[in-house]
Amino acid sequence: MSEVPLDTYLLEVDEPVEDLVEILPERPFAPSGVQVPAELLDQLGPTLRLRRTPPALVEAGLAQRSGALTPIGQHLSRLHRSPDHRLRVDATTADGQAGHLEASFREGYAAVLATPSPLAPQPRGQRYDVDPFVDVVDAAQVPGVLAAWIGLRPAWSLATEPATFPRHYLDDRLRSPTAPPPPDADPHLRHVWNQTWTRWTLRVTAGPTVREMLRTTRTGMVEVRPAETPGDIHLDAAHSSVVWAELIRCAHACTL
């Protein structure tokens, strides 16, 4: 078994530790289920009140040509149209590529709608303006699906200084990777600033949870929180294990 190399940046600042990013290489998000136009999912009901059953629903195994829903179509309809709770993640890259994942929970199951993920590496030329994939899974599987979609993996989380600064620095950096950090940024913050960023948000109907996060290429996840001073934000390094625990907590809250 080959040795894991040392983290180049941390070695330069006299912290010789293994490069955690090399332990688990990035993997593309692999959606499960069937691909269905989102507008057709909203038409699923006890009966399809349409003159003609859309071929996409028949091909996906959700409806019969007669218009009646199949058993899986009926289950999906209940989850999608009348959930107990919903959880949604949205992500946007610096060049404007956007995607989302939404999980609708009911009776121990979840209907998961997912586009290709801007947070996980995708094949060259991947389009994001495509029909979502939809699948019905056990609610306990949702945290794992979320972790794959946001590209969660081991990384060293760096405490940065200043941790609190005006929001406009962050907004400028999200618009342009060449935007400078705050003038008093320490080496850790400058290192985080030089990574490739993808912004994502997590919203849950089971409570007031709204999280704003950054996924950085080599320094893991960073949480963005409002600071006490209006117009300022606070950056918190979010260890992978903490993010994983939060995904579990949010998904579990949607089952209660």
Note down pLDDT in tens along the chain; length 256 residues.
457 789 898 889 898 888 888 887 778 888 888 988 888 887 776 555 555 778 888 888 888 887 788 888 888 888 988 899 999 999 998 888 899 999 999 999 999 999 989 888 766 666 666 789 999 999 999 999 999 999 999 999 898 999 999 999 999 999 999 999 999 999 999 999 999 999 999 999 877 678 999 999 899 999 999 999 999 999 999 999 999 999 999 999 999 8
Grouping H, G, I as helix, E, B as strand and the rest as coil, residue 234 is strand
DSSP state for residue 21 in the 8-state scheme: G
- Torsion angle of the four alpha carbons 80, 84, 89, 90, in this order, in degrees rounded to the nearest 10: 60
Give the global pTM: 0.89
Query: Which residues make beta-bridge pairs with 198?
Result: 93, 215
CA 100 to chain centre: 7
How far is the CA of 70 from the CAs of 15, 55, 76, 139, in angstroms?
Answer: 58, 14, 10, 21
Q: Kindly state the tokens that stand for 89.
A: 């993640």
Q: In the chain, what are the domain boundaries?
A: 8-30+83-253
